[in-house]
Amino acid sequence: MGWGAPERSVLIGLALMLGGGLAWVSADLSSRVPRPLPVLLVDANTAPVAVLGALPGLGPALSGRIVEARELSPLRSLDDLDQRVKGIGPAKASAIRPFLQFDPVSVPPH
């Protein structure tokens, strides 16, 4: 008991159509240029701990230290952040640089 020639022909035809469709879809997907991700800018003086913790290399403890430092006086720059917050060094500063801003509007003048 097996499938006859007509059934096998239909199955082969379906398999070829499915394979051709998959090849067409994968070729179409691979030729698309990925859209760039939007840049997330976070104000170091107003961002909540959870948002700061989502930045590369920052966890809850380091984010908490950033909040503590800005409560004493606003952070003015990445160098200021590096000097005032233990655990921010050149590597972390470089990793978070594209995501941080220091909004002069939120920083009252001394």
Helix (H/G/I), strand (E/B), else coil: 101:
strand
| Element containing residue 43 per DSSP (H, E) | strand 42-43
Rounded Cα gap, residues 83 and 78, in angstroms: 9
Name the β-bridge partners of 100. 42
- The pLDDT assigned to 27 comes to 65
Q: Report mean pLDDT in 10-residue bins for the chain, 110 residues.
A: 78 82 68 73 93 91 94 93 92 92 63
Q: Helices in 1-110 by DSSP H: which ranges? A: 5-30, 49-53, 60-72, 78-84, 90-96
Helix (H/G/I), strand (E/B), else coil: 69:
helix
Q: Is domain 42-101 in CATH 1.10.150.320, yes or no?
A: yes
- The pLDDT assigned to 14 comes to 83
State pTM to two decimals: 0.61
- The pLDDT assigned to 86 comes to 94
